[in-house]
């Protein structure tokens, strides 16, 4: 056995029988690595999945960080990969000791879409503050640019419109929208108030994060100097790590001044960006080792996962061609000496000039005469400026005459008697249906009844289609409409608790109930402290025992112990929806009649 340091000296100096005492002494003094326990809790990696990311790919940086932590520490803690834009979406869960292929995990991460139109930090920070399990390490990757209302796209975060914490602003938004104010005027007038309210909610989430241990949170900033992440990190008592942006990386390179009209990156800039990401991952390795209380392996630098997807895949700029060197001017040539002029010879007598031969060319063939030219020149005798308007007017007149003729033929085929005159109408049915209606008067009546049933069925289909066409209006107004309070004990909602096991007891005993506080056209709010989720079954009125069976709904948490159920679909959608509207109207009328 090798002796190193104090442990080896003690082992050699003392006899073998004292080895137990020495081992206990080393454990107490902390000289053995087993005396240090790893930090318990989940590892959260949140990345910005909006469309505003430009220089660096936040999803790719989060992917490299995920595999770097796995390569360095293994799955010693559960890991959660989530994205945020308008809300937080959980994408990947990895448990301790779970075995998955790297290629399958990379393919799963590559399929995550980046389609968020705006970026809101408040849901992500609230998600971290309200996380139900202990957090060992949390990393948030973004460019630090927050925009909850995009003026160019005329898009306001729908989660804000459905949030009761913005109730006053949402009511003002609905009033101005109904008054006909344009989207740009709405943005200019209400966006400062929405941003101020959003900053207040962010401050509350940051205060809770600071109390719960903000030192376990690290912000990875992919943006410029004007990023919001350093301020958030300071208020949450967390750490911040900044990666140089494309402009800063290009400014650090010698001779890398690019023209603004060129849209390609040189190989030097791509190499610098890769080095920036590698240095950031190394610093995150060190930070994770400190927080997770796990020592780094000696080859931790080689365990950094780095691919080329973290930077834009662009071709390098073409190198400018060298300018050709100017050629020296040619030397002047010496002037030739003048030659002696020859003596003039006597010119011969001129010969008589012959005339050129006469060649006859064939005459060009005449162009074929078109029918339109014949009509224009010979029949009408009108110039082109007057012929075409007259031809167009003639065609319109023919089309109108044909339309009138068809209308008259259709009117002659219609019966000239009243539909209330049953015998004449039955005779017309016999004439139209032939043998089917001439058998008896009873068969003709059956035909009429069948046609009525078909028309009623068509009417139901049109009614359902009309409800579907009007549904998009309710999607916007469902959470900002006026709510009607329900008196205590008049309405209950029944649900199956998520913690109950199916089959352990009868279905009537498994269902739990909660009192309904108020209702609207598309939602209701109930009070149930300690509610952990479950399957909503039905809504029951007391004491009439009228029941509304729920087919599909969604649950949203609002205040402490209060929840909102979005009524997406009833079991019998058309009749139940009409009864729900009638119930809402009846309760509102009773309340108005009781007011003085």
pTM of the model: 0.47
Identify whether the C-beta of residue 89 lies closer than 8 Å to the C-beta of residue 49.
Answer: yes
CA distance 400 to 397: 5
CA distance 292 to 40: 8
**131 contact partners, CB below 8 Å, separation of at least 6:** 42, 44
To the nearest whole number, what is the mean pLDDT of the chain?
A: 75
pLDDT at residue 474, as a whole number: 60
Dump pLDDT digits (tens) for 343-369: 555 555 555 555 455 444 454 555 554
Ordered DSSP codes for 525-566: EEE-TT---EEEEEEEETTT--EEEEEEEEEEE-STTEEEEE
Identify whether the C-beta of residue 143 lies closer than 8 Å to the C-beta of residue 53.
Answer: yes
pLDDT band at 88 (very low <50, low <70, confident <90, very high): very high
pLDDT tops 50 at residue 446: yes
What distance, in Å, lies between the first and last C-alpha atoms of the chain? Answer: 95
pLDDT tops 90 at residue 398: yes
Q: Of the candidates 225, 215, 289, which has an alpha carbon nearest to the alpha carbon of residue 251?
A: 225
Least reliable range by pLDDT among 112-121, 200-209, 344-353, 454-463: 344-353
Dump pLDDT digits (tens) for 24-54: 444 444 433 333 455 678 899 998 888 776 6
Least reliable range by pLDDT among 91-105, 252-266, 300-314, 486-500: 252-266
pLDDT at residue 226, as a whole number: 64
Q: Of the candidates 79, 165, 105, which has an alpha carbon nearest to the alpha carbon of residue 480?
A: 165
CA distance 82 to 124: 10
pLDDT at residue 361, as a whole number: 47
pLDDT at residue 588, as a whole number: 85
Q: Which of 57-66, 290-299, 302-311, 397-406 has the highest average model confidence (pLDDT)?
A: 397-406
**547 contact partners, CB below 8 Å, separation of at least 6:** 538, 539, 540, 541
**380 contact partners, CB below 8 Å, separation of at least 6:** 387, 390
Neighbouring-strand partners of residue 141 = 47, 220
pLDDT at residue 333, as a whole number: 52
Neighbouring-strand partners of residue 220 = 141, 241
Rg of the chain, C-alpha, whole Å = 43
Dump pLDDT digits (tens) for 525-560: 999 888 888 889 999 998 888 999 999 999 988 888
> Which contiguous run of DSSP H or E holds residue 79?
strand 79-84
């Amino acid at each position: 056995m090798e002796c190193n340091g104090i442990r080896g000296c003690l082992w050699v100096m003392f006899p073998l029988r004292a080895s137990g005492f020495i081992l206990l002494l080393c454990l107490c003094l902390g000289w053995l690595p087993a005396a240090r326990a790893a930090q318990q809790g989940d590892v959260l990696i949140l990345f910005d999945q909006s469309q505003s990311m430009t220089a660096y790919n936040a999803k790719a940086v989060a992917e490299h960080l995920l595999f770097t932590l796995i390569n360095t520490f293994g799955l010693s803690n559960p890991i959660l990969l989530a994205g945020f834009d308008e809300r937080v979406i959980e994408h990947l869960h990895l448990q301790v000791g779970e075995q998955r292929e790297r290629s399958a995990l990379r393919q799963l991460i590559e399929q995550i879409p980046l389609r968020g139109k705006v970026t809101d930090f408040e849901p992500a920070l609230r998600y971290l503050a309200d996380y139900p399990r202990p957090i060992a390490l949390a990393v948030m990757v973004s460019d630090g640019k927050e925009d909850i209302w995009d003026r160019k796209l005329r898009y306001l975060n729908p989660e804000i419109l459905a949030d009761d914490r913005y109730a006053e602003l949402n009511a003002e938004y609905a009033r101005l929208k109904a008054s006909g104010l344009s989207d740009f005027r709405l943005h200019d007038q209400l966006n400062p108030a929405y941003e101020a309210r959003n900053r207040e909610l962010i401050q509350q989430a940051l205060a809770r994060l600071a109390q719960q241990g903000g030192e376990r949170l690290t912000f990875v900033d992919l943006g410029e100097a004007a990023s919001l992440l350093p301020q958030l990190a300071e208020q949450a008592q967390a750490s911040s790590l900044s990666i140089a942006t494309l402009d800063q990386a290009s400014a650090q390179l010698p001779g890398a001044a690019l023209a603004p009209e060129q849209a390609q990156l040189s190989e030097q800039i791509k190499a610098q960006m890769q080095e920036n990401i590698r240095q950031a991952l190394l610093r995150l390795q060190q930070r994770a080792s400190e927080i997770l209380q796990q020592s780094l392996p000696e080859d931790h630098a080689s365990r950094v996962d780095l691919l080329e997807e973290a930077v834009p895949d662009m071709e390098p700029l073409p190198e400018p061609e060298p300018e050709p060197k100017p050629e020296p001017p040619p030397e002047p040539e010496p002037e030739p000496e003048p030659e002696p002029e020859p003596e003039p010879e006597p010119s011969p007598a001129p010969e008589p000039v012959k005339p050129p031969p006469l060649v006859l060319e064939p005459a060009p063939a005449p162009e074929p005469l078109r029918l339109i030219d014949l009509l224009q020149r010979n029949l009408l005798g009108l110039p082109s400026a007057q012929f075409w308007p007259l031809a167009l007017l003639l065609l319109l007149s023919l089309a109108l005459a044909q339309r009138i003729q068809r209308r008259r033929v259709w009117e002659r085929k219609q019966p000239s008697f009243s539909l209330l005159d049953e015998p004449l109408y039955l005779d017309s049915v016999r004439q139209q249906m032939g043998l089917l209606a001439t058998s008896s008067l009873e068969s003709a009546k059956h035909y009429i009844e069948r046609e009525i049933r078909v028309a009623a069925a068509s009417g139901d289909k049109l009614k359902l289609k009309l409800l579907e066409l009007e549904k998009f209006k309710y999607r916007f107004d469902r959470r900002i409409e006026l709510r009607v309070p329900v008196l205590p004990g008049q309405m209950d909602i029944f649900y199956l608790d998520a913690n109950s096991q199916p089959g352990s007891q009868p279905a009537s005993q498994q269902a739990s109930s909660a009192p309904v506080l108020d209702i609207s056209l598309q939602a209701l709010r109930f009070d149930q402290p300690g509610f952990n989720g479950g399957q909503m079954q039905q809504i029951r009125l007391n004491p009439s025992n009228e029941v509304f069976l729920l087919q599909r709904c969604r649950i949203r948490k609002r205040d402490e112990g209060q929840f909102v159920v979005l009524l997406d679909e009833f079991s019998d959608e058309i009749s139940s929806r009409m009864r729900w509207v009638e119930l809402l109207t009846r309760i509102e009328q009773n309340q108005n009649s009781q007011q003085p």
